[in-house]
Amino acid sequence: MADGAPAGLRYPWADAPDHGSATEVAPGVLWCRLPLPMKLDHVNVYALDDGDSWTVIDTGFASNKTRGIWRVLMDGPLGGKPIARVIVTHHHPDHVGLAGWLQRDFGAELITTRTAWLFARMLTLDVQDRPVAETLEFYRSAGMDPAILDQRANERPFNFGDIVAPMPLGYTRIKQGDTIRMGGRTWDIHIGNGHAPEHATFWSRDDNLVISGDQILPSISPNIGVYATEPMADPIGDWLEACERLAPLARDDHLVLGGHKLPFTGLPTRMRQLIDNHHGALARLIDYIDTPKSAAECFVPLFKRKIGDGEYGLALVEAIAHLSHLYQEGRATRTKRDDGAWVYQRKD
């Protein structure tokens, strides 16, 4: 969900590094950028100098193009030193895509949360030529446009395994309250939720650095969606709880290194904005469902802009998440319409 260019945030670098190059954002910490074939056209990855080797944070999609950029990085900014560890903040493909490749071909140790590893490895093994019946029923229950539903029923769906390299057996687990040494610093690990379950963030004890993945981004709110795999999940509730828990850790001088957009300072302001953004969306939505509405009918109050074909899927799962949160909090009712869609209405 876009929420504009927040006031009070500062961006020390106006431009991102070119593909295959790196910007040193702190001693021994390199910021690199990899391309994505979508509207959000990049992911940020970081390399931390451990002396005789590197620890890298996140990896980009598994594609020949991205592998080629990694090889340029290895020979150039990384100076030919080995990548000994790859840390994955969360299981989404732009972050875990090449973790298995770095693990298998370069001997890197894979470090991530248990949920991230289980999700990623499970999803790489679940490749389909057409959507399964449960997925189509889930779309129908969200009120998906019939033409879009028919199109999706007859085409190859998004498959995690198409853009994530096979993941070897075995990883090292991190969890809430752990610490890790990397880049000459000791980092506290704090776990977020909502955008992805058990999302790892890293807070340096020795200076002002925070590596936030997609849990904290500067000019967009991470997508928060409900999917057919867990139709009664409440990621909005998980998101708000995580933001409220992480907010007291924030300092204005923190330099936040996120998974997308630019590094920034002004974290206390940003944490409040991330929380307020979703409370505002819920308030607009509860006013909008004075008459019964399906998720597909709620894009206008949530996003305040036209949703294009390329954004439709993400918008739909986020609309489901917000409506279901209101329903599970007891602020809205839910009934099944004749066309099979759940419709939600404000409780008076």
Residue 187's pLDDT band, with cuts at 50, 70 and 90, is very high
* Tens digits of residue pLDDT in 238-287: 999 999 999 999 999 999 999 999 999 999 999 999 999 999 999 999 99
Measured at the CA of 215, the angle between CA 211 and CA 218, to 5 degrees, comes to 80
In this predicted model, what pLDDT tens digit does every residue of 143-158 receive, in sequence order? 999 999 999 999 999 9
Domain limits at 85? 23-128+159-279
Helix-strand-coil split of the chain, %, nearest 5:
35, 25, 45
Residue 147, sorted as left (phi over 0), alpha (psi -120 to 50) or beta, turns out to be alpha
Residue 3 has pLDDT above 80, yes or no: no
Does residue 326 belong to any structural domain of this protein?
no
* Three-point CA angle 242, 243, 248, nearest 5°: 110
Q: What is the CATH number of the domain that holds 112?
A: 3.60.15.10
| Residue pLDDT, tens place only, 68-121 | 999 999 999 999 999 999 999 999 999 999 999 999 999 999 999 999 999 999
Q: What is the pTM of this model?
A: 0.95
In a domain, 71, yes or no: yes
The partner residues of 174 in beta bridges, in order of sequence, read: 113
Q: Is residue 332 part of a domain?
A: no
pLDDT at residue 309, as a whole number? 84
Res. 7 pLDDT band, cuts 50 70 90: low
Residues in CB range of 139: below 8 A, 6 or more apart: 149, 152, 316
| Averaged pLDDT for residues 4-8 | 56
Nearest to 252 by CA among 193, 303, 208, 211: 208
pLDDT band at 2 (very low <50, low <70, confident <90, very high): very low
In a domain, 149, yes or no: no
**Residue 338 forms part of a structural domain:** no
Q: Is residue 18 part of a domain?
A: no
In-domain check, residue 59: yes
DSSP string, 201-256: EEEESSSSEEEEETTS-SSBPPP----TTSTT--HHHHHHHHHHHHGGG--TT-EE
DSSP state letters, 256-276: EEESSS--BB-HHHHHHHHHH
- 285-338 confidence digits (pLDDT tens): 999 999 999 999 999 999 988 888 889 999 999 999 999 999 999 999 999 999
pLDDT at 308: 86
238 is a domain residue: yes
Domain count, the chain: 1
Summarize pLDDT for 38-73 with one digit per residue, the tens: 889 999 999 999 999 999 999 999 999 999 999 999
**Which 3 state secondary structure label does DSSP give 280?**
helix
| Whether the Cβ atoms of residue 207 and residue 252 lie closer than 8 Å to each other | no
